[in-house]
Amino acid sequence: MIRMAVVLWVLLAGHLVAAPVLVKTGEHDGFTRLVMEFPTSVEWQMGRSADGYELRVTGQPANYDLSEAFKLIGKSRLAAIWVDAQTAGLRIGIACGCHAMPFEFRPGIVVIDLRDGPPPNGSSFEQPLYPETPDNKAVAEGGYDWQKQALAELRGEGAANTPKDRLASLPSSDPALQSLRESLLHQLGRGASQGIVDIGHPSPPQPLPPQEFASARVSLGELPGVSVTNGLSRHTGLAADGQTCIAGDQLDLTSWGDERPVHHQMAEAMAGLVGEFDQPNAEALRKAIRFHLFIGFGIEARQLMRAFPVTDSEAALWTSLARLVDAEPDPSSAFIGQAACDTPAALWALLADPALQAGAKINADAAYLAFSALPIALRRHLGPALADRFLAVGDRASAAKVRDAILRAPGMAGPRVDLMQAQLDMTNADPAAAESRLNTLVTDSGPETPSALVGLATARVAQALPVTPDLVTALEAVLRERAGTENEAETRHALLLARAASGDFDTAFESLPDARDAEPQLWRLLSKLGQDDAILRHAVLATDALQPRAPSDTAANLAQRLLDLGLAENALRWLPDASAADPLMLAQIHLQRRDGRSALAALTGLDTPEALALRAQAMQQLGDEAAAARLYAKAGDSTAELNAVHRAQDWADLGQRGAEPWKSAAAAVAAPKAPAPDAKAEGPLAQGHELVAAAAETRAAVAALLNSVAAP
């Protein structure tokens, strides 16, 4: 009975395998899918053929049902499908620039996706399948498992089970490349004849591969028998501190993905992570980690490395890259000290070190070239941070190039890039342009709104313009949100100055101990926007107060504000270095202090109309009205000159060129009339009459002068 059961089981299994396998198809965005559902789990392999691909099943040939293959699809990708009479494999003819990506959905269900674009680098499905021969009969009998073979190669177990007699790679025979070959040969020959190109044999000489064409060929470095060098010694590429620079091929993020939709690439990248016996496929894991970094998924890449044991030599680089693409600090970054390298490591070293300052050794060109080669999504994501690093070292030109590398790509740059442009506007001393950009950002509720609010307040303060109370309230909310973060100090600084610009100088000065770096700008805002009461409360310094941290122009503005309020002594406190102060303002302060001699000393060597007028005022304080009149005359102020002449009582001068009624009065009292030639012939009575007449004229002139002055 047991034997009968075994026989029936074997017959039933054979019947199940021989049952028809219906091939179903479907069209999707970017790929065409073929689905084969076998009665039981099968061993299968797939590879390239002359007109597409071939799927083979180990053991008894499958009975494929192709009646519904083109029921739902056209022939834009799948051109034909048939069963090969010799190998019994399923042949798939393609009519597109696409590649096949097969996988086992679950035991017994094999899926083949014909995806647009070139195949991934190193895809085993692009290798041809081989007929059974004595050399690879064992492989054919056991079935060629590409996953098992890939794991064996990664473990260093060799490729003993790999089919033999693979064709060697042949040079391209595309006729379109012939002109390029001829041009390169001509240029190489010309360079050799001029002595600038050495054509020699490598040491040791390398023989030609078995199937290599014997005809002449031009290549860049890989042509056996010919090497082209610049004659300089070879080096490994060293950083500024002598360490070896990380090679560029280890950081070629552009090759870790392509331009297809991300969800398509994600499906490919996550396929085949685990092979037989739940063993991780190191090559598939490497591809998945790199793809996550390509799309900027740093934390997801780190999760993969935690979920699967990673023994790859580049694991430390991937960990650093994962942190950097997520804009996280990485104190132990693998890129520390690589900022001066001539490889893409310079880019990641800049991003890894937020403490860079002016004078740091960096290779800005290498960093920019690596950045401009990144996918546009990463450029937009990393560009603001890279621009910050360039600005920190004083390289505004490279920061502008980073901006241009983002903006030249099609599509919207995004709010983070707008913030970066606003920061560049601020660096270029154009806060008005920065304000215009940020006004748009603050109206949109998004993750960049807090930074936009801080930037808007900073731009308004830089222009010494008032800030609305609503903006102050918004910044107070941002400060609560950023408490304890690396952005807290920046936000507190902006809030303090925004309060001052809104008119709340009292609160701003009370908050100064929490943001001492804002002191110079706070005094500037007080000098520009402060009302008189704010000037009196904060700019009138105590006698024992330390000198405030204010730029010289701000100190001069505050001194002028105090001078205008009649507080000359307090104004002088803001000008501790008289030699560096404005001599005209210093003279005005001394004049207000009634110190004419100090005013004259401050004006030494100055001969402008303003200086002459101040010197005249100083002479008047010293009691020399005549000298003051001369100085006013030299300054061209005739009114002030005549007033000084009046006070000097120079009646002769005033009687000659003064204005009426002063001129008549001055002429009357300047000197008595000279007697007439025949005055001696006249008697005393006649002389008396003349004196009375002169007195009457003088009295009339004085009366007219008094009448011209308004009553108090």
Give me the DSSP letters along 615-655.
Answer: HHHHHHHTT-HHHHHHHHHHHT-HHHHHHHHHHHT-HHHHH
Q: Measured between alpha carbons, how far is 92 from 32 in angstroms, rounded to an integer?
A: 12
Residue-averaged pLDDT of the chain:
78
Is the pLDDT reported for residue 570 higher than 90? yes
Say if CB 338 and CB 328 are below 8 A apart. no
As for how many domains the chain has, the answer is: 4
Give residue 393's domain range: 335-413
Beta-bridge mates of residue 31: 28, 115
Q: Are residues 256 and 349 in the same domain?
A: no
Per-residue pLDDT, averaged over 556-569, amounts to 93
pLDDT > 90 in the chain, percent: 24
Asked whether residue 296 is domain-assigned, the answer is: yes
Is the pLDDT reported for residue 276 higher than 70? no
Say if CB 441 and CB 454 are below 8 A apart. no
Largest CA distance in the chain: 187
Per-residue pLDDT, averaged over 30-36, amounts to 89
Q: Are residues 322 and 388 in the same domain?
A: no
Rg of the chain's alpha carbons, rounded to an integer?
47
Say if CB 453 and CB 478 are below 8 A apart. yes
Confidence of residue 192 (pLDDT cuts 50, 70, 90): low
Per-residue pLDDT, averaged over 11-15, amounts to 44
Q: Are residues 357 and 265 in the same domain?
A: no
Instruction: Tell me the CATH number at 108.
Output: 2.60.40.3500
Neighbour tally for 2: CB within 10 Å:
6
pLDDT at 558: 95
**Residue 36 phi/psi, 5° resolution?**
-120, 120
Asked whether residue 666 is domain-assigned, the answer is: yes
Asked whether residue 124 is domain-assigned, the answer is: yes
- Closest to 440 in 3D by CA, of 425, 427, 455: 455
Is the pLDDT reported for residue 500 higher than 90? yes
Confidence of residue 628 (pLDDT cuts 50, 70, 90): confident
Beta-bridge mates of residue 552: none
Question: What 3-state DSSP class applies to 299?
Answer: helix
pLDDT tens figures, 310-337: 778 888 888 889 898 888 877 778 888 8
Q: Measured between alpha carbons, how far is 36 from 148 in angstroms, rounded to an integer?
A: 22
Q: Measured between alpha carbons, how far is 75 from 69 in angstroms, rounded to an integer?
A: 10
Is the pLDDT reported for residue 146 higher than 50? no
Is the pLDDT reported for residue 145 higher than 60? no
For residues 156 and 398, the model is more confident at 398
Q: Are residues 108 and 30 in the same domain?
A: yes
Q: Measured between alpha carbons, how far is 409 from 224 in angstroms, rounded to an integer?
A: 41
Asked whether residue 675 is domain-assigned, the answer is: yes
Q: Are residues 24 and 128 in the same domain?
A: yes
Neighbour tally for 243: CB within 10 Å:
12
Q: Are residues 79 and 33 in the same domain?
A: yes
Q: Measured between alpha carbons, how far is 650 from 656 in angstroms, rounded to an integer?
A: 10
Let me know if 406 is exposed, middle or buried by CB neighbors in 10 A (0-12, 13-18, 19+): buried
Q: Are residues 348 and 312 in the same domain?
A: no
Last residue of a domain, one of 112, 132, 152: 132
Question: What 3-state DSSP class applies to 148?
Answer: helix
Least confident of 290-299, 385-394, 407-416: 407-416
Last residue of a domain, one of 273, 305, 334: 334
Asked whether residue 637 is domain-assigned, the answer is: no
pLDDT at 231: 45
Q: Are residues 24 and 50 in the same domain?
A: yes
User: What is the strand order of the sheet 52-57 is part of?
Assistant: 44-49, 52-57, 90-94, 78-83
pLDDT at 676: 56
Confidence of residue 11 (pLDDT cuts 50, 70, 90): very low
pLDDT > 70 in the chain, percent: 72
Last residue of a domain, one of 78, 98, 132: 132
Q: Are residues 323 and 386 in the same domain?
A: no
pLDDT at 521: 95
Asked whether residue 474 is domain-assigned, the answer is: no
| Tally of residues, the chain | 712
Is the pLDDT reported for residue 501 higher than 90? yes
Q: Are residues 121 and 79 in the same domain?
A: yes
Asked whether residue 165 is domain-assigned, the answer is: no
Asked whether residue 71 is domain-assigned, the answer is: yes
Q: Are residues 308 and 382 in the same domain?
A: no
Per-residue pLDDT, averaged over 383-393, amounts to 85
Q: Are residues 30 and 128 in the same domain?
A: yes
Is the pLDDT reported for residue 164 higher than 50? no
